[in-house]
Amino acid sequence: MKHAVVSSLVLGLFLQTGCSSGVTGPLEMTTLNPGDDHQTIARHYLHEARLSRQQVEELSNQAAVYERLFGQESDWVSGTRLLVQFYQEVAQEQDRLAELHMRLGKDRSSK
């Protein structure tokens, strides 16, 4: 039961965030090529980090509601808290990637 609930929540959230990104053209997000537009890539990662933090806030609120409704040991509460932790880690990784691309963009502009 617990895994089914978590799986359903994860799938729904991935679909929600995946459809909401506003990228208009393809970006090669893994590029380290100095000639590429690293500032645009960095802005994208910062935007995605903000979206992940919004998910953290919304899911934290949901977990509090679930705790009041179903109790602290509920599968709903623990599953939602796992999602909060996941999105916190995603936001940290997106911040790290944004910083990397900002540095690459600065290196490009200083040459």
What are the structure tokens assigned to 85, written together? 């932790």
Task: Report whether 17 contacts 55 (CB < 8 A).
Answer: yes
Distance CA(45)–CA(39), nearest Å, equals 10
Q: What is the pLDDT of residue 23?
A: 47
Distance CA(64)–CA(80), nearest Å, equals 9
32-87 tens-digit pLDDT = 666 677 888 899 999 999 999 999 999 999 999 999 999 999 999 999 999 999 99
Q: What is the pLDDT of residue 38?
A: 80
pLDDT beyond 50 at 14: yes
> Residues 105, 106, 110, 111: what is their CA dihedral angle, to the nearest 10 degrees?
-30
Q: Is this prediction's pTM over 0.75?
A: no
Distance CA(110)–CA(47), nearest Å, equals 25
pLDDT-based confidence at 105, cuts 50/70/90? confident
